[in-house]
Structure 1
Amino acid sequence: MQSSLFNSENENLLPFQGKTILYADFLQKEEADRFLSQLIEAVPWRQEPIWMFGKKVMQPRLTALFGDTEVPYSYSGIQMEALKWVDPLALIREKLKDYCETEFTHVLLNYYRDGQDSMGWHRDNEASLGKNPTIASVSLGASRTFQIRHYANKAPKLNLELGHGSLLIMAEESQHFWEHQLPKTKKVLGPRVNLTFRKLS
């Protein structure tokens, strides 16, 4: 069993005001391959419109929400109703108990079909997530560069390579003081599915 986040020997990647830890080998390749295939094929993916700079545009990725069905989740003007937990997601949620001290109620899935699908700068700081939320982000598929920067002064900017089967945990004050994005790239040809586990109240 791995030690929990708060006793972890893994390095905190943030220099101050928060805690972010990367586990490159959270899932074995065979597990990650299986989960990726199952989720791409079975999830009822949707492309939602969002407001950006005063205009409504389609998100450059596909999404889905699973979790405790009585609690919806809202962000960027979108309200999502949760689908019931399915085996791959329930198994990963159970495995996360060895890594962080949070009982996750939901998981938001993002499907990046190729390098042109992306996520802009943002913080996961919705009121429903609580004061200092822990977000556990599991990556499946093509390796992508994930960027983090300080919200107030936009520096320093960290570039993290999130590979197949990796786990990134963002905790404590990180969602207050830091923002993150997944930029577009011309280098990536394969799909990527990202699972962001969170606790809604």
Structure 2
Amino acid sequence: MMLQGSLLDQVEEVGLRPLTGAVRRTLLDHGAWVDVRPGWVTGSDELFTRLALGGPAGVDWRGEQRQMYDKQVTTPRLLRFYRERERLPDPILEQARLALSEHYAAELGEPFATAGMCLYRDGRDSVAWHGDRFGRAAGHDTMVAIVSLGAPRALLLRPRGGGGESLRHVLGHGDLLVMGGSCQRTWDHCVPKTHQPVGPRISIQFRPRGVR
């Protein structure tokens, strides 16, 4: 699992750039919206290395088995979910969660509380079309903030149920994408498989309490 680093990113220490004045918002149908802040995390390739190592120095990545019709299948990515008050694996992630909570406080009305993490090892790893609609998000507007580390991968969005043209964001090397408003209820998103040679990517999803 080799990461092709970004030349612009390698010279910087791990940190966070400002959000205020740098976030670009796109308004979608049905009261949904998407914010993008390119290169929010500086030194993101170094952070990727810290998290990808596994074991005591990184994330204890786990594979999962899920029921698919009449058989068990292996989830095509590695996972780790950090519950409320569970310590995150790197101090910069705690800082990121706090910064997001402060920036979106007026709109969200509560802090980001949990962190889900996915490791996409290559182009064969993916996540199918879905919305984070379990828990309170099934009936209420909420936010999901995604930080992407490592090789850029496409994240697609389309109205729930299909139909219409999908939106495409290529995220990696410290980019931030935030889905807000009704986005989880009225839109779906996915990271599709690709036959192109791509390196590994880590996705970190910050969510409020009770949203999955």
Which band: TM-score by shorter chain? 0.7 to 0.9
Q: Is contact 1:135-1:196 (8 Å) kept?
A: yes
State the one-letter code of the partner of 2:34: T
Query: 1:48 corresponds to which residue?
Result: 64
Q: Post-superposition, which runs of at least 4 consecutive aligned residues in structure 1 deviate over 3 A?
A: none
Structure 2 residue identity aligned to 1:36 = F
- Residue number in structure 2 paired with 1:193: 202
**What is the alpha-carbon distance in structure 2 between the residues aligned to residue 39 and residue 9 of structure 1?**
25
**How many equivalent pairs are there?**
183
Aligned equivalent of 1:88, options 81, 85, 92: 92
Matches within 5 A, 1:1-201: 1-3=18-20, 10-12=24-26, 14-28=28-42, 30=43, 32-41=44-53, 42-69=58-85, 83-86=86-89, 87-97=91-101, 99-101=103-105, 102-129=110-137, 131-201=140-210
Secondary structure at 1:175 match in 2: helix
Cα distance per residue 1:98-126 (max 9 Å; x no partner)? 54224111100000011110000101011
**Cα deviations by residue, 1:11-33 (Å, 9 ceiling, x for unpaired):** 315244301111112112x2x12
1:73 matched residue in structure 2:
none
Could you say what the CA RMSD is over the residues aligned between the two structures, in angstroms? 2.1
TM-score w.r.t. length of structure 2: 0.78
SS of residue matched to 1:91: helix
Identity %, equivalent residues? 30
Mean Cα deviation higher: 93-102 or 132-141:
93-102
Q: Paired residue for 1:78?
A: none
The 1:129–1:151 alpha-carbon spacing in structure 2 relative to 1, beyond 3 Å, is closer
Give 5+ residue unaligned stretches, structure 1. Answer: 70-82
Structure 2 residue runs of 5 or longer lacking an equivalent are 1-17
